[in-house]
């Protein structure tokens, strides 16, 4: 009798484990069946992803999620935003908790290969910079020898800082901090001479100071931080959809397609590239398993790349970031969407 109980338990356990090993289907099919896109975002980063007083998410990364949801499901609001921390973000993606991760994550070699992620492109070219008090009299990062520097632990910025100072034969004393808010507090209290993080973050931090005019952001950018959305290895069709949704937003800006003139361009544009992008001619959507109007919906969700940039982090917002590297290639930036053909 005892034996049969034991065998029964083993059988039940095997059955449950077997269910666990059942292969998951294509992400596109899952998203369509769920009728909702699970998008991993930051738990809160100024301009990139933040919930407002009533819990609605807005931001630069959030806008990409909405565009993707609009392309796939036809409704920019069919997104569930899954807040992820720096520690949980990649596991959340590879375990299938989120379908796409748009969480200001830097595209690096090891993340792309070892962590089995596929970065589908770059939606923001960032880089690490320094902020110092003006009365310190420092005008270049090269003059920071011996400085105390506030640095967030466990990030690529920490490693970049060490690399940069070693390469320039300088020394520094790190003041380890846990979050951006704590870094600001330490910096304001004078616990460190300089505060270093991504340049976009520095700009936002400086904008929120009571006395922004007394602080300067040094001209040196000491690292490359290409931030982009990522998907899991292994589902290339889903990766294609994510990549070309981003490309559609970027290409739309290049061709002058905005959320305001898109309906008109659908009817009257005779630029063949625009016609293909908007699904007027050819059937590009069918090649990635979507309908012909997928890109039209993605652009309509929050506008093209330039509109998204301007609305969330651009110069008209309090954060006030210039386009810089994030301008179109025709404007001297790095944004370059592959042709829609």
Partner 1 sequence: MSDTHAQTVPFVRDTMLPAASPPDRQSGAIRWLRENLFSGPVNTVLTILGALIIWFLVATFWDWFAHSVWNASSLSECREIIAATWGEGARGACFAVIRERWNQYVFGFYPPELYWRPTMTFGLLMVALAPVLFGASLTIRRVVLGITAIVTLAAMMWLGVPAGWLAFTAVVLAFGFLASERNIAWLLPFSIVYPLLGVWFLWGGTLWGPIFVLAGPVLGWLAWRLLGSRAPMLGVVVAALVTILFWLFLAGDAATDAQGLVPLAIEPVRSDRFGGFLLSLTIGVAGIALSLPLGIVLALARRSDMFLIKSLAVMFIEFIRGVPLIALLFVASLLLNYFLPPGTSFDIILRVIIMVTIFAAAYMAEVIRGGLAALPKGQYEAADALGLDYWKAQRLIVLPQALKISIPGIVSTFIGMFKDTTLVTFVGLYDPLKSMSDAVRANIAWKGIYWEPFIFVGAIFFLICFGMSRYSMYLERRLQRDHR
Positions touching partner 1 (CB under 8 A) are: 1, 5, 8, 12, 19-20, 22, 24, 30, 42-47, 49-55, 80-85, 87-88, 91-92, 95-97, 179-181, 184-185, 204-205, 207-210, 317-319
Residue 116 CB, shortest distance to partner 1, in Å, is: 13
Nearer to partner 1, 139 or 179 (CB): 179
**Rounded least distance, CB 85 to partner 1, Å:** 5
Q: Are strands 79-84 and 225-227 parallel, antiparallel or unpaired?
A: unpaired
- In the complex, the smallest distance separating the C-beta of residue 199 from partner 1, rounded to whole angstroms, is 16
Nearest residue (CB) to partner 1, 56 versus 271: 56
Count CA atoms closer than 13 A to 314's CA, side-chain side: 9
CB 120 within 8 A of CB 66: no
Residues 6+ apart with CB under 8 A from 213: 134
Per-residue tokens: 270: 């005779």
User: Smallest distance, Å, CB 207 to partner 1?
Assistant: 7
CB of 324 to partner 1, least distance (A): 19
**Nearer to partner 1 among residue 20 and residue 339 (C-beta):** 20
Burial 8-23 (b: 16+ CB within 10 A, else e): eeeeeeeeeeeeeeee
* Cβ 279 to partner 1 shortest distance, Å: 31
SS3 77: coil
Question: Of 180 and 269, which CB lies nearer to partner 1 in the complex structure?
Answer: 180
Backbone angles phi, psi at 270, to 5 degrees: -115, 15
* Token pair recorded at residue 116: 């089995």
Tokens, residue 56: 């609605």
How far is it, in rounded angstroms, from Cα 229 to Cα 231? 7
CB closer to partner 1 out of 22 and 167: 22
Q: Closest approach of Cβ 145 to partner 1, in Å? A: 29
What is the torsional sign of CA 126, 128, 133, 135? negative
Q: How far is the C-alpha of 40 from the C-alpha of 84, rounded, in Å?
A: 6
Nearer to partner 1, 59 or 129 (CB): 59
Judged by beta carbon, residue 99 or residue 254, the one nearer partner 1 is 99
DSSP 141: G
């Amino acid at each position: 009798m005892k034996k049969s109980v034991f065998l029964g338990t083993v059988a039940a356990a095997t059955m449950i484990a077997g269910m666990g090993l059942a292969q998951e289907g294509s992400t596109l099919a899952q998203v369509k069946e769920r009728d909702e896109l699970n998008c991993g975002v930051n738990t809160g980063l100024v301009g990139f992803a933040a919930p407002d007083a009533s819990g609605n998410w807005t931001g630069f990364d959030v806008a990409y999620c909405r565009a993707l949801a609009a392309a796939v499901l036809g409704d920019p609001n069919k997104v569930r935003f899954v807040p992820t921390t720096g520690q949980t973000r990649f596991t959340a993606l590879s375990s299938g908790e989120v379908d796409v991760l748009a969480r200001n994550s830097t595209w690096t070699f090891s993340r792309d290969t070892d962590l089995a992620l596929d970065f589908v492109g770059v939606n923001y070219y960032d880089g690490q910079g320094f902020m110092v008090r003006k009365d310190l009299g420092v005008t270049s990062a090269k003059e920071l020898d011996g400085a105390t520097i506030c640095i967030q632990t466990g990030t690529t910025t920490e490693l970049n800082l060490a690399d940069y100072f070693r390469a320039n034969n300088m020394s520094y004393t790190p003041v380890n901090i846990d979050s951006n808010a704590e870094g600001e507090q330490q910096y304001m209290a004078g616990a460190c001479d300089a505060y270093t993080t991504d340049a976009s973050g520095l700009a936002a931090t400086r904008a929120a100071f009571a006395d922004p005019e007394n602080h300067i952001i040094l001209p040196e950018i000491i690292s490359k931080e290409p931030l982009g959305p990522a998907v899991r290895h292994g589902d290339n069709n889903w990766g294609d959809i994510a990549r070309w949704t981003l490309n559609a937003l970027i290409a739309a800006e290049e061709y002058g397609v905005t959320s305001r003139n898109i309906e008109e361009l659908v009817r009257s544009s005779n630029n063949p590239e625009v016609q293909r992008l908007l699904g007027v001619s050819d059937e590009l959507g069918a090649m990635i398993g979507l309908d012909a109007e997928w890109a039209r919906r993605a652009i309509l969700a929050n506008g093209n790349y330039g509109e998204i940039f301007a609305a969330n982090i651009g110069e008209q917002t309090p954060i006030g970031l210039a386009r810089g590297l994030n301008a179109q290639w025709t404007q001297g930036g790095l944004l370059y969407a592959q042709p829609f053909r």
